[in-house]
Chain A
Amino acid sequence: MEVKEPGRKIPLVGSLEGIMTVFKHSLMKPVTVQYPEEKEYTPDRFRFRIFLKLDDCVGCTLCEQVCPNKSIKMETVKRENPRNKRMIYPDVNFGTCTVCRNCEEICPTDAIYLTHVFETSRTKNSFLYSPEELSKPEDEVVK
């Protein structure tokens, strides 16, 4: 299929039409969602920060294996949990985590999961979250 070039027209008319189109938009309603005040609806599947349910984790290390860039490392935490005899839990380095969701996908007990929390920026380069910090809300994590 051959594309057609526009034919010859009277000069300036097309440009004026464009100017009118642009001017027309100034009368429309802006589409901006004013972020800090009004929050846009976030879909269910939207993924950002990783959370961990300490009670559900069985320490199977599958998430450590599947993580593409080794952001997840297993760490020993002294904690009573009958399902996790070896007492190893994942910690996540958010400085390298690409939010690819493979850990959530592979987790057999759904202990590690991704949430909607995205307000994680900070002024220090310290993003290594220990298992306890992973199970806390973002505001309570002090670095």
Chain B
Amino acid sequence: MVAMSDWVELNIGPHHPSTHGVLRLKARVEGEMVREVEPVIGYLHRNAEKLCENTFFCDNIIYFDRMDYVGAPGMEVGYLEAAEKLLGVFPPERAVWIRTIMAELSRIASHLIWLAAFGLELGMLTPFFYCFDLRESILTIFVEASGSRLLTNYCSIGGVYQDFNEKITDEVEKFVQDAPKKVEEINSLFIKNDIFISRNKGIGVLDKNVAIEYGVTGHMLRASGVEYDVRKAEPYLAYSKVNFEIPTSTKGDNLARYLVRIEEIRQSIKIISQSIKKLPEGPFFNPKAKKSMMIRLRGDGEVYARTESSKGEFGVYIVGDGGVKPYRVRVRSPSLRNLSVMRELGRNVMIADLVSILGTTDLVFGEIDR
């Protein structure tokens, strides 16, 4: 026995119920207290960046779908922001609004998954099912629009593959009407609960400067007091024409992150309800990128485009060499930066708190490891 015998090295993961996938945390544990945490990643490294170099511009969307798989249309929008600038093929007005609606729907879907998983991590068995029930109505819209539930492959270069028809707009309007009540009901299960508050208030406080140092974005940065949202900072799609607010908080703890997320869901519903009213008539794709033109698009130069995915600032950097395939694709994954700050947050916390901090961080490994 060595002198450090009361330090136990606990290996959490790669298969562990609370790691949202395949994260491995090397934790040095002293009784119930976690002294140090070192995340080990790479268990879902699927070489998407390499494959993107060998595929047509129009086909790369499928790899971006599979990055943040809980909110796939949001990722497609992020890729197309960069790819369309590079190729010089721009979508018509209607497609822009359709993409806005899809991106916001996917943001809600992603947040609901997070809420469900967060509830399970804290030991609440039931909110999971209500979240999935609500999410199912979003997936119905996705199937109706694109034909696939999860990985939609809906947006194409220069527009969208299929138009919104009467039925989809009806579904979206119905969702906008029903969702706020259900969200409030689910929220009340969390926020009114004394144990939930005691598990989250003042836990995992992330300082503003530390957050900026580590490149943290998204809800974690906003909960720490920086009002940074790419949708406002550098409006893309139709976000400059709709009315919404950025929720922030100065507390920086788990509860603040939770509240920011819930408020984001409300704001997204607001955006959707405005967009569906403003949806213009007209063509939904750019004829330059249809049918056999799909695989003949050539791009030169380099473009870095940022979008606000459900996890934070999602950036895509594409370098083209004038061919039909990109020369280099680089993805700025928000979750990777949000995870890297775990080294700071996971110092001298209890095992139970480590789990709840991981829960509010909201990781998706398809995007971290790519």
User: Nearest chain-B residue to A16 (Cβ)?
Assistant: B192
**Shortest CB–CB separation between residue B366 and chain A, in angstroms?**
14
- Taking the complex as formed, is A53 at the interface, i.e. its CB lies under 8 A from any CB of chain B? no
Contact check, A17 vs B162: say whether CB atoms are below 8 A apart: no
B83 beta carbon closer than 8 Å to chain A: no
- Whether B291 contacts A18 by the Cβ 8 Å rule is no
Q: Which of A14, A15, A47, A65: most chain B CB closer than 10 A?
A: A14
Whether A68 pairs with B62 at a CB distance below 8 angstroms is: yes
From A1, A46, A62, A108, give the contact of B246 (CB < 8 A). A1
Determine, out of B146-154, B203-211, B350-358, the stretch whose residues face the partner at the interface.
B146-154
Q: Which of B130, B148, B259, B295 contacts A47 (CB 8 A)?
A: B148
Stretch touching chain A among B6-14, B53-61, B110-118, B310-318: B53-61
Task: Let me know if B177 is at the binding interface, CB within 8 A.
Answer: no
Report if B303 contacts A (CB, 8 A). no
Which residues does chain B contribute within 8 Å of A101, judged by CB atoms?
147, 153, 161
B146 touches A45 (CB 8 A): yes
Q: Other than A5-B255, A102-B153, give 17 A-B pairs with Cβ distance below 8 A.
A: A1-B263, A3-B259, A5-B256, A18-B192, A21-B185, A21-B188, A31-B133, A43-B144, A43-B147, A45-B147, A66-B295, A68-B56, A100-B59, A106-B292, A108-B291, A108-B292, A114-B147
Interface residue B82 (Cβ < 8 Å from any Cβ of A): no
For residue A107, which residue of chain B has the nearest CB?
Answer: B291
Query: Is B143 located at the chain interface by the 8 A CB criterion?
Result: yes
> Are A18 and B145 neighbours in the complex by a CB distance under 8 Å?
no
- B-contact 0/1 string along A89-128, CB 8 Å cutoff: 0000000001111100110100000100000000000000
* Chain B residues within 8 Å of A6, by CB: 191-192, 197
The yes or no answer to B321 lying at the interface (CB within 8 A) is no
Complex A-B: 10 CB contacts under 8 Å: A1-B263, A5-B251, A11-B194, A14-B193, A31-B133, A43-B144, A43-B147, A98-B62, A98-B151, A108-B292
Residues in A neighbouring B192, C-beta threshold 8 A: 6, 9, 14-15, 17-18
- Asked whether A100 and B247 contact (CB < 8 A) given A6-B192, A15-B195, A62-B292, the answer is no
- Distance to closest chain B CB from A45 (angstroms): 4
Once the chains bind, are A45 and B145 in contact (CB under 8 Å)? yes
- Complex Cα spacing A3 to B223, Å: 9
Interface residues of A (CB under 8 A from B): 1-6, 9, 11-12, 14-15, 17-18, 21-22, 25, 31, 42-43, 45-47, 62, 65-68, 98-102, 105-106, 108, 114
Within 8 Å CB of B161, what residues of A? 101, 105
> With A3-B256, A17-B192, A22-B126 given, is the CB distance from A65 to B295 under 8 Å?
yes
Instruction: Decide yes or no whether B260 CB sits under 8 A from chain A.
Output: yes
Within 8 A of A (CB), among B147-201: 147-148, 151, 153, 156, 161-162, 185, 188-189, 191-195, 197, 201
Count of B interface residues, CB-CB < 8 Å: 49
Residue of B whose beta carbon sits closest to that of A105 = B161
Nearest Cβ on chain B to A29's Cβ, whole angstroms? 12
Across the two chains, which residue of chain A brings its CB closest to B191?
A: A6
Whether B340 sits at the interface, judged by CB under 8 Å, is no
B193 & A102 in contact (Cβ 8 Å cutoff): no
Residues A68 and B292 in contact, CB atoms below 8 Å apart: no
A97 to chain B, nearest CB (A): 11
Name the A residues within 8 Å of B246 (CB-CB).
Answer: 1
Q: How far is the CA of A2 from the CA of B259 in the complex (A)?
A: 10
Q: How far is the CA of A114 from the CA of B291 in the complex (A)?
A: 16
Indicate if the CB atoms of A12 and B194 lie closer than 8 Å: yes
In the complex, chain A residues whose CB is within 8 Å of the CB of B136: 31
A106 CA to B144 CA, complexed, in Å? 21
Given the interface contacts A43-B143, A102-B294, does A68 sit within 8 Å of B126 by beta carbon? no
Q: Distance (Å) between the CB of B265 and the closest chain A CB?
A: 12
User: How many Å lie between the Cα of A12 and that of B136 in the bound state?
Assistant: 32
Q: Is the CB of B144 within 8 A of A66?
A: no
Residues on B with beta carbons closer than 8 Å to the beta carbon of A43: 143-144, 147
A18, A66, A67, A106: the one within 8 Å of B188 (CB): A18
Contacts of B191 in A (CB 8 A): 6, 14
Q: How far is the CB of A69 from chain B (nearest CB, A)?
A: 8
Known: A45-B145, A114-B147. A15 touches B194 (CB 8 A): yes
- Closest beta carbon of chain A to B245's beta carbon, Å: 4
Which A-B residue pairs are the 5 nearest by beta carbons?
A: A14-B192, A68-B59, A45-B147, A47-B147, A3-B259
Rounded to whole angstroms, the CA-CA distance of A42 and B148 in the bound complex is 11
In this assembly, does B338 line the interface, its C-beta being within 8 Å of a C-beta of chain A?
A: no
Most chain B C-beta atoms within 10 Å of own C-beta, residue among A42, A65, A102: A102
